[in-house]
Amino acid sequence: MQSEKEKELIVRAIDAAPRKFFIVSTDYSILAANGFAKKASGMDEIVGRPCYAVFCNIDSPCDDCTARDVMRKGRPVISSVRNGPFDISGEGSCFYAYPVFENDRVQAVAVIDFDVSALSEIRGRLEMSNAFLRNLILSSVDGVIAADRKGKVIIFNEAAAEITGYTVDEALNDLDIRSIYPGDGARQIMKKLRSPDYGGVGKLKSCQVDIVRKDGGLTPIMLNAAIVYEGDKEVSSIGFFHDMTEELRMKADLQKTQTQLLQAEKMSSLGKLAAGVAHQLNNPLGGIMLYAKLLLEDYDLEQDAREDIKRILRDAQRSSDIVKELLEFARQTRQKQVDVDINESVARTLFLLENQALFHDITIEKKFCNGQLFVNGDVQQLNHVFMNIILNAAQAMESKGTLTIRTGLSESGKRVVVEIEDTGPGIPDDVLPHIFEPFYTTKDEGKGTGLGLSLVYSIIDRHGGRVSARNSSAGGAVFRIELPVAGTQHGKEKGQDVDK
């Protein structure tokens, strides 16, 4: 409750105000007025007289009577004396009127006039502020989208148009905010916004989601969003959409580089191990071969014994050749681009693999072209590529089946083509699009060669080629590698056309 002193001060302040202030009854009679209103009327006494007679000089209430509007609507009203409903661009005085209630009924109406020119200045400042905020939103490098509770888009800047593919007009006129999220994504976003777990109730911070572009594709987004309230009531939501496409690409490239560095370190260790193995094996192999030759030369042996010793020589020589090939395959050198015969490179890889236990029940069909096929590249890296794909094929077939390797030229004659086909179960449709992605694998932990298909893709890409995979009509997988033909033509006989 207000004290008598407070009431007295309020009355004195109203009476001293340099604007007209008066109170009218429901029959438009003036019940009270301040000194300025009385002075402005030019009358000795205005209390008890109709307001329309005092201030409008007419015999009945005005058609646009402010007091009548307040009594009818039961809420405050602003209006112009001369021009009806208040127009902020007009000039002169306007009335602000509000109801005084008793037991939920309008008992009287309080009216105060004010200067429109002052409001015009405020309006101008407000318009400048709104224009500045609008420019901030439109100039944002991130997409800004706001929508009401029904999903109608009410703010949509140019950055949002670039991300989604919709024009600003399309978004503002036709777009439902729910359509830019896959599935029930919009409902999940609102659920997080109303939860205290993602930045506080009404806020969502750094949430990575996908949005659906106009063309149906998906774009990865980092979303920061908020609910807009009027009092305690939700009226709209606004989101700031940061396109993550380039950042994720850079992250994938970094991961690919890290994988390559790890692989280089592993191959370096393999090279050192191979050198040690060669040193330990070459000496006993040399002794075996030497003494086997001495037996043949110095002793008159039976023919069966001589054949056995020759077999020892052949196997020892083969073991020596395998050690040399392993050293050649694993030795670390600087990347050296030379003309490489693809047929020879594939054959060398098969030489290392085909006698391993994994290949004992696998039939290898070599459909090489008749002539030489030269590409410009690093022989060690190309050997890694062929070994990885061939080993993957053998593992997919579970060590039994047919492995077919074809080499030749493309239809244009500008690319050397190698196709490696197995008779395994093929690659599942949901896996096929991802097999060249870094760190993507379907193998159990601890299995595989350590050289993933992402590295295969990277090596072929650095050589200016391309690698792809598909499932054959028979059910197995087919890997196709294409590399540019070397500038110098070594082969005089054109290879078969693999495309045909």
List the pLDDT tens digit at each of the 500 positions of the chain.
678 889 889 889 988 988 889 999 999 999 999 988 888 888 878 899 998 888 788 888 887 788 888 898 889 988 765 443 333 334 456 778 999 998 889 999 999 887 666 666 777 787 888 888 888 888 889 999 999 999 999 999 999 999 999 999 999 999 999 999 999 999 999 999 999 999 899 999 999 999 999 999 999 999 999 999 988 899 999 999 999 999 999 998 888 778 767 766 766 676 677 777 777 888 888 889 898 899 888 888 899 999 999 999 988 887 887 777 666 555 544 567 889 999 999 998 898 888 888 888 999 999 999 888 999 998 888 988 998 899 989 989 988 999 999 999 998 889 999 999 999 999 988 888 878 776 566 665 444 433 468 778 878 888 899 999 999 988 899 999 999 998 744 433 444 455 54
Domain-located, residue 128: no
Tell me whether strands 400-409 and 143-148 are parallel, antiparallel or unpaired. unpaired
- At 71 the three-state DSSP class reads helix
- Report the CATH number that the domain containing residue 487 is assigned in CATH: 3.30.565.10
Domain-located, residue 130: no
**Whether residue 487 is found in the same domain as residue 345:** yes
Q: What is the pLDDT of residue 270?
A: 66
**Whether residue 63 is found in the same domain as residue 93:** yes
**Whether residue 15 is found in the same domain as residue 27:** yes
- Report the CATH number that the domain containing residue 166 is assigned in CATH: 3.30.450.20
Given phi > 0 = left and psi -120 to 50 = alpha, else beta, which region is 371?
beta
Dist CA 203 CA 220 (whole Å) = 20
Tell me whether strands 203-212 and 153-156 are parallel, antiparallel or unpaired. unpaired
Domain-located, residue 121: no
Residue of 204, 243, 237, 236 lying closest to 221 (CA atoms): 243
Count: domains in the chain: 4
**Whether residue 325 is found in the same domain as residue 390:** no
- Who's near 350: CB < 8 A, 6+ residues apart? 364, 366, 390, 405
Compute the C-alpha angle 445/448/449, nearest 5°. Answer: 135
**Whether residue 277 is found in the same domain as residue 317:** yes
**Whether residue 266 is found in the same domain as residue 183:** no
**Whether residue 382 is found in the same domain as residue 346:** yes
What are the structure tokens assigned to 197, written together? 């777990």
**Whether residue 233 is found in the same domain as residue 254:** no
Range of the domain at 145: 140-243
Element (H, E) at 164: helix 158-164
**Whether residue 318 is found in the same domain as residue 424:** no
Element (H, E) at 153: strand 153-156
**Whether residue 274 is found in the same domain as residue 416:** no
**Whether residue 249 is found in the same domain as residue 239:** no
What are the structure tokens assigned to 101, written together? 């209630």
Which one of 116, 132, 148 terminates a domain? 116
Domain-located, residue 269: yes
Determine whether 415 is exposed, middle or buried from the number of CB atoms within 10 Å of its CB (0-12, 13-18, 19+): buried
Q: Which residue has the tokens 């002794």?
A: 287
Q: What is the pLDDT of residue 436?
A: 79
Question: Is 240 within 8 Å of 204 (Cβ atoms)?
Answer: no
Which one of 243, 260, 289 terminates a domain? 243
Residue of 170, 152, 149 lying closest to 161 (CA atoms): 170
Which one of 306, 332, 358 terminates a domain? 332
Task: Say which amino acid occupies 333.
Answer: T
**Whether residue 379 is found in the same domain as residue 436:** yes
Question: Is 31 within 8 Å of 119 (Cβ atoms)?
Answer: no
Side-chain-side CA neighbours of residue 394 (13 Å): 22
